[in-house]
Each structure stands twice: as structure tokens, then as C-alpha cells.
Amino acid sequence: MENCEVMSVLGKEFYERDTETVAKDLLGKILVRRLGDGLLGGIIVETEAYFGADDPASRAFHGRKRYNLVMFGEPGHLFIYNVHHYWMLNFIAHDDGVGGILIRAIEPTMGLKTMKENRPVKQDRNLTNGPGKLTLALNVDKSLNGLSTTDDLCTVHVLNNELDFDMGTSHRIGVTRDLPEELRFYVKENRFVSR
């Protein structure tokens, strides 16, 4: 993705909207992780929306705690937490209240060699087709928690990108209690969507 430098970084106003809307609108955008002098990342192809105290699957369900303070903060910040020894990459997004968006999968387009060193796989489609897989490939960990992705100094950004695709929806994956709405969004027929 050679023209990455001419794409604009999504600003805070992008994330200052309804969480579900932002989760849908992140599809097709470019997730970039700067690591040293290199760029890693790709096209976001799968997301999930999470809300506050009324969402039993959310990290904010039990109220404000030390580990989830970022969820109650400014939109556009990263929220990184651990599930089953894997880091989860989330963007805080809400217009009024609490909300976060889990990035479940990307189609890798930049820095494949480094990503494969971080997470060796035989088939490219298995490199970033799940939330724990993509954080390993992108070398994302707790040290990024709370950083503002709209800040030029941040090593994680989302770039604006236009992509034509059909969107699929389903209930969120791997949650024991879910809301009645389908809050998982994905690019239909993209081979990098998690299974």
C-alpha cells in the first residue's frame, strides 16, 4: 500500500458518534501499526461493537474499574485488554455514554514479512483472521492502552479509505451473554474474516 502516506488519519470526530455506526464505518478503512521504521497493517474486514452497563458482553458492564477506565474516556483512544493470553485491540467510540469497537480481523497489506516473523503461519489468510492473531502479527500489547490514535505521535492509526463491499452481520463471537441486536460486522466473502 504505497500511497498510505497520502491517506488521511481518521480524526476524533469520526469516533465521536454512535458506537454501532463507527463499528460499521471502520470496515474498509486501513489499520496501520508503525513499528520502528516499518509499517504493518491492512484493511479492516471485521469489527464488533460493545457498549456500557447495559451490555453484558462489555468490559464496562460492571461499571468503572481501574482496568476499563479508557472505555469511559475520550473517543479515538486505544483500549487493550487480555483474553485467554491474547491482547484485544479496541477503539473507543461513542457519542454519549460508553462504547468500544473490537477489531476482529484485517486483510494484511503492509509489512507481511515482519507480521509473519511476529506470528509465523503457513497460509497468509491465517495471519490476521482473528482478534488475538492480528495483535500478535502487529505486535500490539498493553503498552498501547490509552493512547490517542488521532495523535500524530501514536504508533497506531486508522486511515480513511473507500472500499466497495457488501456488509454482513451476526451476533458477537465468543460471548456468553449477548444483546439481541447483531453487533458483529464484516466484509462479506473476504477470506480474512475470522471463522
- List of residues 6+ apart from 47 with CB closer than 8 A: 23, 24, 26, 27, 101, 102, 103, 104, 184, 185, 186
Using an 8 Å Cβ cutoff, are 153 and 133 in contact? no
Whether 60 is in a domain gets the answer yes
Whether 147 is in a domain gets the answer yes
Whether 192 is in a domain gets the answer no
Whether 195 is in a domain gets the answer no
pLDDT per position as a tens digit, 46-55: 999 999 989 9
What is the domain extent for residue 179?
2-187
pTM recorded for the entire structure? 0.94
Whether 193 is in a domain gets the answer no
65 pLDDT tier (thresholds 50, 70, 90):
confident
pLDDT per position as a tens digit, 91-111: 999 998 899 999 999 999 999
Question: CA torsion 84→75→8→86, rounded to 10°?
Answer: 0
pLDDT of residue 87 exceeding 70: yes
Whether 104 is in a domain gets the answer yes
- Cα 186 to Cα 19, 28, 60, 89, 142, distances in angstroms: 15, 9, 23, 16, 25
If one counts every other C-beta atom within 10 angstroms of the C-beta of residue 169, the result is 12
Whether 170 is in a domain gets the answer yes
DSSP 3-state helix, strand, coil percentages of the chain (rounded to 5)? 20, 30, 50
Beta strands 38-50 and 30-35, pairing class: antiparallel
- Cα 89 to Cα 3, 141, 142, 188, distances in angstroms: 25, 8, 9, 21
How many structural domains compose the chain? 1
Looking up residue 23, the CATH number of its domain turns out to be 3.10.300.10
Which DSSP state fits 172?
Answer: P
Whether 194 is in a domain gets the answer no
- Rounded Cα gap, residues 19 and 34, in angstroms: 25
